[in-house]
Structure 1
Amino acid sequence: MSRQLLLMALGPLLGLFILGIGNGFLTTLTTLRLDAAGASSLVIGWVSSAYFIGLGVGAMVNDRLLLAIGHIRAYGSFASLLAVSVLLQGMFADPVAWFALRLIAGWATVGVFLVIESWLLTAGDDRVRGRLLAMYMIVVFAAGAIGQLLFGLTRDMAPAEPFILIGLLASLSVLPMAIIPRVTPLLEKAEPLSPLRLITLTPTGVMGSFGSGIAVAAVYTLLPLYLQRSGVGGDRVGQLMALVVLGAMCLQYPVGRWSDRHDRQLVLIGLGGFCALICAGILLLPLPPWGLAALLFLLGGGVFSLYPVAVGHAADRAPAGALVRMSQGLLLINAIGATLSPSAIGPVMTLVGDGGLFWSLGALGVGLVAFFAWRRSVRPAPVPVAPFSPATPLSAAELAVTEEWVQGALEHEHVEDLSEAVPDVEVAEPLVGPPPPDEPHIVYYDDAAPAAPEADAGNVDERAAKDAGQERGATYG
């Protein structure tokens, strides 16, 4: 990865990191403040769902602003909108107002993600795309972890102060985007990309994003419940969940590098099978505490790597003008999967026990492997063209007209006089290597170029050498 590309990615990634620290504990803060105010579980659920509704709505319409005003100004707009919504939450403690504000916050947050993802997808090609998206996911997870630690420090603050802190971080995140980047990715003319065309264009990317949303939401929402019901203490639950996030951070870049060097469909097949094996190990093996911790670490790395590899695969298939809307569509599909996950896996846990979480995740992994393998059989990865290796040591500069070739041409054309057959070609002996400087040789000219005067014919090589020397001086001098 070039230094210039790293510098281009530094601004958006640093801005996302600053914003993500505050956004990392905003959801937890909102839930706990509503509970402390005496709100019912139904009210808390509706306010929490408003954020995800905003994510879905924003994923459908935010591309228009981005395509109209560009990456930097769009990021500034979304970050400012998020800051205003959070500051207003600190001013009004009414659940109805918070529903509207969380809706706006979800709209703005998915806009930030859209700007960052489209920036990275447009800036890099398929050789570095996996690593760029891996860095993006590492920043998201690291910011979320730091945000949870910061939440512990805000418990003794006045009621409005944590919201003010989050708003300040959201506003501050605009500075790296505005100051650091010297160039921004070129936004070509946007192509319309309907959901049906997105599915037709990259079924693997769509299914990978959808499956990733299901798996990630299940890990975040249902894994703590499984651990608590399995007899793990409260402090231990937090440590194991932190270990899952740590596994996601540590394995993102190796998996991204792997996907840059191999077919991403094969990487997705490997990740799906890997997650299924980890779930089978948790269910079937008698695990000591350290064994469970190790498998959860690996599970986090596998589950959280699905989305960036799926997005990278989709970007490899999409035309350049459709990258922004493709990223928007995959964000929406991922959000739909995350929304459906708890309601789909929860009944399985009720039916077969708490282990139903890993039975569901294992079945999801097997299903993804089968789908990706089928898609690979339907549309195999293109085979790179083998480099050309000449069968003989001759090249265009070493090719000479021999007497045998001329005689064969005369016999084929039934011409007896050599000057009639090839009047402008001088017969030469076969050459091996470049001709000696004092012997005549053939010089090839472009048909459109004017022929050199006869008086200057002897100076052709001298002029060519002089011109070549001037060109080298202008280029490398």
Structure 2
Amino acid sequence: MSRQLLAMALAPLLGLFILGIGNGFLATLITLRLDAAGESPVVIGWVSSAYFIGLALGAMFNDRLLLRIGHIRAYGSFASLVAVTVLLQGLWLDPVSWFGLRLIGGWATVGVYLVIESWLLTSGDQKVRGRLLALYMISLYAAGVLGQLLLGVTDAMGVTAPFMVIGMLASLSVLPMAMIPRVSPLIEHAEPLSPVRLITLTPTGVMGSFGSGLAVAAVYTLLPLYLQRVGLTVNQIGQMMAVVILGAMLLQYPIGRWSDRHDRQMVLILIGAFCTLISAGMLLLPLNTWILAGLLFMLGGGVFALYPVAVSHAADRAPAGALVRMSQGLLLINAIGSTVSPPLVSPIMAAVGDAGLFWAFGGLGIGLVAFFGWRRSVRPAPLPVAPFAPSTPMSSAGAELVVTEELIQGATEHEHMEDLSSAVPEVEVARPMVGPPPPDEPHIVYYDEDAMEPDGQTLAETSDNDRR
């Protein structure tokens, strides 16, 4: 990667890191404050779901605003709106008001991600986009870990101090983007595939994306509630949430590379079984600090790896022309799962106790294992043709731009191989012959256009008579 390209990417990455520090512990903070105010898990779940509703709406509509006003002004608008909603939450505690503020905050946050992703991924060609995406992920995860660790520090400053710190960080994140003298790129709007069409093309990808949304949203919004009710301090809760994100960061890539070498459906089955096993450990094992940290580390690795493996499996099945819209559609399916997760899981916690969170995780894992196993028996997965790209759920434009040349080439080759396999019965296989073929019998020659003749020419350059 050139120094010039790295300099272009530095400003959006720095802005993302600054905003991500505050946004990293905001969901945890809101859950803990509502619980301390005596609100039920159901109320906490609905307030938490408002953020994901905003994410889904923003993923569908924010690119139009970006096209109209440009990257830098759009970033300033979205980041300022994030700061305002957070500061307003610090002024008073009311679940109804917080629902509306979290909805607007989610809409604005996905707008920030949209600006940064499209900026980064249009700054370079396909040869460096993978590295730019890796830097994006590192910034996002590192900010999340640091933010969770700062939760206890800011909470000790006072009731409103954490909200003030998050608002200041959101405002400061505008500076790197506003101070760079560069014309920003533009993106094009593309409509995602409908859910019905997605289910027809890749039921496993749809279920994997939806299940990932259910699990990740529960981790961010309801796991802090569980940790507080089992007796951890605010500082300890932040540390445990940091361990979860660290597990996601360190285990996602090895799991993804493993899926490149094996049947992705089997990898998805094992991920579901792994999450079920971790949930059983949380319910049955005597938990101390180290056991809890180890289980949460592995839970983060399994839950956060589900989405990219499911998307990679969908890319294996996709026709080349549908990759972009399929990625966007799966992103919206993931956002829908995140939206309905807190309202679905919080009543279970209210009915059976705080451990209901892990009963829900276990039930989700068993359901995913059953569904993936059924799909594998109905339609075995092909050999992986789309290379795994470790990723977090992103905006719709980010999904559009992350579809690499390798993904398109892999899907095209897979489609071409299926066409060849269907045509095999119609081709007479040439048998070994001595001397020239009889005049009335066709002589079939298989050739590779990339193969070289002894004189340096490709077979594609030979005459039609030679090919016959």
Relative distance call for 1:230 and 1:86 in structure 2 (3 A) is closer
CA contact (8 A) 1:204 1:310 kept: yes
Output aligned runs, 1:133-282, within 5 Å.
Answer: 136=136, 138-154=138-154, 165-174=165-174, 187=187, 190-227=190-227, 238-259=238-259, 264-282=264-282
Conservation of the 8 A alpha-carbon contact between 1:208 and 1:306: yes
Flag structure 2 segments of 5+ consecutive residues without an equivalent: 386-412, 415-433, 441-453
Alignment correspondent of 1:367: 367
Q: 1:369 to 1:44 in 2, by over 3 A?
A: closer
Task: Note if contact 1:117-1:327 (Cα within 8 Å) is conserved in structure 2.
Answer: no
Equivalence map 1:9-408=2 (5 Å): 12-27=12-27, 50-66=50-66, 74-86=74-86, 100-115=100-115, 136=136, 138-154=138-154, 165-174=165-174, 187=187, 190-227=190-227, 238-259=238-259, 264-284=264-284, 290-314=290-314, 326=326, 328-349=328-349, 354-376=354-376, 377-378=378-379, 380-382=381-383
CA distance in 2, matches of 1:2, 1:320: 31
Counterpart contact for 2:23–2:144, Cα < 8 Å:
yes
Q: Distance in 2 between matches of 1:350 and 1:33?
A: 17
- Segments of 5+ residues of structure 1 without an aligned counterpart are 387-403, 414-432, 435-443, 449-477
For CA contacts below 8 A with separation 6 or more, give which structure has more relative contact order: 2
Per-residue deviation at 1:144?
Answer: 2.6
Distance 1:5 1:321, change over 3 A: farther
TM-score, normalised relative to structure 2? 0.63
CA separation of 1:321/1:292 partners in 2, compared to 1, >3 Å: closer, same or farther?
same
Measured on the aligned residues, the alpha-carbon RMSD in Å equals 5.3
Contact 2:32–2:224 (8 Å) recurs in 1? no
Q: Are 1:222 and 1:342, in contact at CA under 8 Å, matched by a contact in 2?
A: yes
User: Could you list the per-position Cα deviations for residues 428-472 of structure 1 after superposition, in whole angstroms to 9, with x for gaps in the alignment?
Assistant: xxxxx87xxxxxxxxx99879xxxxxxxxxxxxxxxxxxxxxxxx
Q: Which residue of 2 aligns with 1:396?
A: none
How many aligned residue pairs are there?
A: 400
Mapped to 2, the partners of 1:189 and 1:32 lie a distance apart of 38
Aligned amino acid, residue 24 of structure 1: G
Give the Å deviation of 1:25.
3.7
Q: For 1:336-370, what per-residue CA distance to the aligned partner results, in whole angstroms no more than 9, with x for missing partners? A: 32343344344545666654433332232232233
Give deviations 1:365-405, integer Å, cap 9, x for gaps.
2322332344345262257789xxxxxxxxxxxxxxxxx97
1:59-87 CA-to-partner distances (Å, cap 9, x unmatched) read 33224335667766654543343345446
State the Cα distance separating 1:107 from its structure 2 match. Answer: 0.9
* Cα distance in 2, alignment partners of residues 127 and 277 from structure 1: 39
Q: State the Cα deviation string for residues 135-177 of structure 1 (Å, max 9, x = none).
A: 6555434323322444445457798876565344334434555
| Residue type of the alignment partner of 2:277 | L
Which residue does 1:420 correspond to in 2? Answer: none
Any conservation in 1 of the 2:123–2:185 contact (CA below 8 Å)? Answer: yes
Q: Residue 157 and residue 272 in structure 1: after superposition, are their counterparts in 2 closer, same or farther (change >3 A)?
A: closer
1:84-122 deviations in Å (ceiling 9; x for gaps): 5446667x6595776554432221112233455667888
Distance 1:291 1:186 in 2: 48
Q: Contact conserved, 1:82 with 1:109, CA < 8 A, in 2?
A: yes
* Letter matched to residue 193 of structure 1: L
Greater Cα shift, 150-159 or 274-283: 150-159
AA aligned opposite 2:358: F
C-alpha distance in 1 between matches for 2:156 and 2:183: 43
- Give, in angstroms, the shift of residue 180 of structure 1: 8.1
Please give the secondary structure, in 2, of the residue aligned with 1:270.
Answer: helix
Contact 2:315 2:323 in 1 (8 A): yes
Separation (CA, whole Å) in 2 of partners of 1:106 and 1:75 = 14
Point out the structure with max Rg over C-alpha. 1
Q: Separation in 1 of the partners of 2:154 and 2:287?
A: 37
Structure 2 counterpart of 1:251, one-letter code: L
CA–CA distance in structure 1, aligned partners of residues 372 and 271 of structure 2 = 11
Moved more, 128-137 or 101-110: 128-137
Cα distance change of structure 1 residues 171 and 272 upon mapping to structure 2, 3 Å threshold: same
Per the normalisation by structure 1, the TM-score is: 0.62
> What's the secondary structure of 1:193's corresponding residue?
coil
What is the letter of the counterpart of residue 362 of structure 1? Answer: G
> Within 2, Cα distance between the matches of 1:316 and 1:180?
40
Distance in 2, matches of 1:225 and 1:34, equals 9
Contact 1:63–1:324 (8 Å) recurs in 2: no
Describe the SS at the equivalent of 1:305: helix
Give the counterpart letter for 1:79 in structure 2. Answer: A
Structure-2 change in CA distance of 1:170 and 1:291 (3 Å): closer
CA distance in structure 1 between the partners assigned to 2:47 and 2:109 by the alignment: 16
CA contact (8 A) 2:154 2:162 kept: yes
1:238-272 Cα deviation digits (max 9, x unpaired): 54444333322322333344445555444323322
